[in-house]
Amino acid sequence: MGADDGVTVSFLCLSSAEFVCFLALLGQELSMTLWVTEMISGFRIVFFVQPMAFNNFFGNIRNCLFTIPVLMIVYLSVAKCMCVFKPLHFKNMFPVRRTVWIMAGFCVFAIVSYMPIFASIGFPELYDGNINKTRHML
């Protein structure tokens, strides 16, 4: 166990990925709070970008980033099964370098698979009937 163990490194990567997912969720909740502020104020407080647009954007980011911890949990499950199935070969099956490459591959896979969604999102300036102004919306 330690920094030279592949499973420990994968748990570190998993906790880091979960923290990044939490930050995306925090951004989504902040945009929801801004939207509620607009609604409660009767649109007297207006933001130049529609807060629900940020909510949708952070939701897509959160979904993309949530793919990474799921794949990491699958990797850890396979590593645990291999620890039981082949206990003497376990250290050689999951070295640190291979684990880091696999975790990086999971990150690349998640980002590349969501690139079409991110490429199609735009924030054009549209008319909003609630505030009788134009602002950036989805």
Tens of pLDDT, residues 69-127: 999 999 999 988 988 888 887 778 888 899 999 999 999 999 999 999 989 988 788 88
* 3-state percent breakdown (helix, strand, coil) of the chain, nearest 5: 70, 5, 20
Integer Cα distance of 38 and 2 in angstroms: 50
Tens of pLDDT, residues 18-32: 999 999 999 999 999
Q: pTM of the predicted model, to two decimals?
A: 0.82
Please give the residue range of the domain that contains residue 31. Answer: 6-136
Which residue matches tokens 């980033």?
A: 65
Say if 118 falls within a structural domain: yes
Say how many domains are in the chain. 1
> What is the phi-psi region of residue 137: left when phi exceeds 0, alpha when psi lies from -120 to 50, beta otherwise?
beta
Say if 1 falls within a structural domain: no
